[in-house]
């Protein structure tokens, strides 16, 4: 479904992605882990065209991802994104945030979008907050609204860019629970995360990135429990010791 | 004092005519400057180098030439090129263009104050540039821009008096004419000042109200 072949990206002379090949199949949950600056988030942002890349190809369902081409709109309606800092629209209510894409981009009838939006809010446990503004919600609640907003587009895949990194520790669980639910329903997901336990439980595969390259990849239990690469071992030791 | 009120009653109808012209000039140039200012601002943030440059050159050109000279140009020079306007039209166009430069920089500052994550969120649900502006950025920028916009409205109301230099019979010019023919400078110019002040008050209240209405439910 998502296919990356020899993807390179630089900011000026600084190359941050140094040739990445990866495939994500339908229904798969793939977690990207690695130290900061390793290129995890950048990869995700390239996949829905928030960033450009200089070399290689990224394809989604056979459509080449090119942020300067009209087809990017179609890619984005199929691939939703959940951001680290939620990025909800502060001037709209929770429900309006959720139905914004369906109504204005996909031109769904408002009543229909509303019904579906309310059902999605119910699903993330926030039906009673439908008419609140984002500023009145906790971080965990805001992120759950952001997930509902992503789902409202009826995407084929969702990209999560460190969805719990900006949350207070006690709010992480509620967001991960929603994501676990999606994984159980076989939503295709790519997740950049530092939640090793989540990755171990939920991911089908894990990619470990360092310095703009994938240094190790494989089944979650293999990479995370018995890592082969020295850098993966080192990273996991530091992350787990820290916890 | 009694004499003052007698004169005031006598002069008020003429001054009211002037005040009406002032209101027309102000409203007309406010609408024009807002539309043009929005266009310059959007050109500046469009990401297109050429649109940005054209807007920068225009804005600096407008800011660098005194309003009064711009008015003279439109009213006295344009007829040489076959464009004849009434004094009122020239005043509205002149002040509208002159103020669009300030409006543009104000709007741009408001738009650029919005977190870039908002643009990304809009893009990620498939919105194009125009839809992102219309649904996500401009409504948020509106709130930031409102206080300086109110300021601009008040300045425009007062600067509309410059239209008197191209024969628009607005408040300041009517006052000057009455004063010149009656020599009652104190009475006339006190009245003119009070008229301007009174016209400013609804603007001040309007802005305060809009600001209040737009702060609901956020932060």
- Say which residues have a Cβ less than 8 Å from residue B156's Cβ, sequence separation at least 6: B26, B29, B30, B33, B95, B99
Cβ pairs A/B, distance under 8 A:
66
A83: nearest CB among B120, B131, B217: B120
One pLDDT digit (tens) per residue for chain B, 219 residues: 788 888 888 899 999 999 999 999 999 999 999 999 999 999 999 889 999 999 999 999 999 999 999 999 999 999 999 999 999 999 999 999 999 999 999 999 999 999 999 999 999 999 999 999 999 999 999 888 988 898 899 999 999 999 999 989 899 999 999 999 999 999 999 999 999 999 999 888 888 888 787 765 454
Predicted confidence at residue B217, as pLDDT, reads 46
ipTM of the complex: 0.91
CB contact under 8 A, B117 and A87: yes
Q: B138-148 in b/e burial notation, b at 16+ Cβ within 10 A?
A: bbbbbbbbbeb
Model pLDDT for residues B174-187, shown as the tens digit of each residue: 999 999 999 999 99
Q: Which residue of chain B has the CA closest to A134?
A: B218
Question: What CATH number has the domain spanning B2-214?
Answer: 1.10.3720.10
Kindly state the percentage of chain A with pLDDT values over 90.
83
> Average pLDDT, whole number, for chain A?
93
Residue of B48, B110, B124 to mutate, interface with A, max A Cβ within 10 Å: B124
If interface means Cβ-Cβ distance under 8 Å, which residues of chain A face chain B? 48-50, 73-74, 76-77, 80-81, 83, 85, 87-91, 93, 100-101, 104-106, 132-133, 135-136, 149-150, 153
pTM (2 decimals)?
0.85
Predicted confidence at residue B212, as pLDDT, reads 81
Predicted confidence at residue B219, as pLDDT, reads 43
A50: nearest CB among B123, B136, B140: B123
Kindly state the percentage of chain B with pLDDT values over 90.
77
Q: What is the DSSP letter of A60?
A: E
> Average pLDDT, whole number, for chain B?
91
CA atoms within 13 Å, Cβ hemisphere of A72:
19
CA distance B154 to A99: 39
Find out whether A210 and A38 touch, Cβ atoms under 8 Å.
yes
Find out whether A94 and A66 touch, Cβ atoms under 8 Å.
no
Does residue A241 surpass a pLDDT of 70?
no
CA distance A208 to A90: 35
Does residue A243 surpass a pLDDT of 80?
no
A100: nearest CB among B123, B135, B143: B135
Residues from chain B that touch A147, judged by Cβ atoms under 8 A, are none
Residue of B116, B126, B214 to mutate, interface with A, max A Cβ within 10 Å: B126
Residue B209 C-alpha, separation from nearest chain A C-alpha, in angstroms: 18
Predicted confidence at residue B103, as pLDDT, reads 95
CA angle at residue B60 from B57 to B62, to 5 degrees? 105
> Is A240 or A93 the better-scoring residue by pLDDT?
A93
Predicted confidence at residue B216, as pLDDT, reads 54
Predicted confidence at residue A125, as pLDDT, reads 94
Predicted confidence at residue B204, as pLDDT, reads 87
B118: nearest CB among A49, A50, A87: A87
* Backbone φ and ψ of A38, nearest 5°: -85, -10
Q: Helices A139-152 and A110-123 meet at what angle, rounded to 10?
A: 140
> Which stretches within B45-170 are classed as H helix?
49-64, 67-72, 87-112, 116-124, 129-131, 138-159
Residue A202 C-alpha, separation from nearest chain B C-alpha, in angstroms: 24
Q: Is B154 on the interface with A (CB under 8 A)?
A: no
CB contact under 8 A, B126 and A85: no
CB contact under 8 A, B127 and A105: yes
Predicted confidence at residue B3, as pLDDT, reads 85
Model pLDDT for residues A227-240, shown as the tens digit of each residue: 888 999 999 888 87
């Amino acid at each position: 479904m998502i296919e990356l072949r020899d993807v390179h990206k630089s900011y000026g002379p600084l190359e941050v992605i140094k040739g990445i090949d990866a495939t994500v199949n339908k229904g798969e949950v793939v977690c990207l882990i690695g130290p900061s600056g390793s290129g995890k988030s950048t990869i995700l942002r390239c996949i829905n065209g928030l960033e450009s890349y200089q070399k290689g190809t990224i394809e989604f369902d056979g459509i080449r991802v090119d942020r300067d081409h009209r087809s990017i709109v179609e890619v984005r309606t199929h691939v939703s994104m959940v951001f680290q800092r939620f990025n909800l629209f502060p001037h709209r209510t929770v429900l309006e945030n959720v139905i914004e894409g369906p109504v204005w981009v996909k031109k769904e009838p408002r009543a229909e979008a509303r019904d579906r939006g309310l059902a999605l809010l119910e699903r993330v446990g926030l039906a009673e907050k439908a008419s609140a503004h984002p500023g009145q919600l906790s971080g965990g609640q805001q992120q759950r609204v952001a997930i509902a907003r992503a789902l409202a587009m009826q995407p084929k895949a969702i990209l999560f860019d460190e969805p719990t990194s900006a949350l207070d520790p006690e709010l992480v669980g509620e967001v991960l629970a929603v994501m676990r639910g999606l994984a159980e329903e076989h939503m295709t997901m790519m997740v950049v995360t530092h939640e090793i336990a989540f990755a171990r439980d939920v991911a089908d595969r894990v990619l470990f990135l360092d310095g703009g390259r994938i240094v190790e990849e494989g089944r979650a239990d293999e990479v995370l429990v018995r890592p082969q690469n020295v850098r993966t071992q080192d990273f996991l030791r530091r992350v787990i010791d820290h916890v | 004092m009694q004499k003052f009120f007698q004169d005031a009653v006598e002069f008020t109808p003429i001054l009211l005519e002037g005040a009406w012209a002032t209101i027309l000039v102000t409203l007309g140039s406010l609408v024009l400057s807002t539309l043009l200012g929005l266009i310059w601002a959007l050109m500046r943030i469009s990401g297109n180098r050429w649109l940005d440059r054209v807007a920068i050159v225009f804005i600096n050109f407008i800011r660098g030439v005194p309003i009064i000279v711009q008015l003279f140009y439109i009213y006295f020079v344009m007829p040489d090129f076959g464009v004849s306007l009434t004094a009122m039209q020239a005043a509205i166009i002149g002040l509208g263009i002159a103020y669009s430069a300030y409006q543009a920089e104000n709007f741009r500052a408001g738009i650029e104050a919005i977190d870039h994550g908002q643009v990304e969120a809009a893009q990620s649900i498939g919105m194009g540039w125009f839809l992102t502006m219309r649904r996500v950025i401009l409504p948020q920028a509106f709130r930031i821009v409102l206080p300086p916009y109110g300021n601009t409205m008040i300045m425009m109301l007062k600067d509309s008096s410059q239209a008197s230099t191209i024969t628009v019979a607005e408040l300041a010019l009517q006052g000057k004419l009455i004063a010149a023919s009656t020599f009652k400078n104190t009475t006339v110019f006190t009245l003119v000042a009070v008229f301007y002040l009174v016209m400013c008050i609804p603007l001040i209240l309007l802005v305060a109200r809009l600001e209040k209405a737009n702060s609901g439910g956020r932060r």
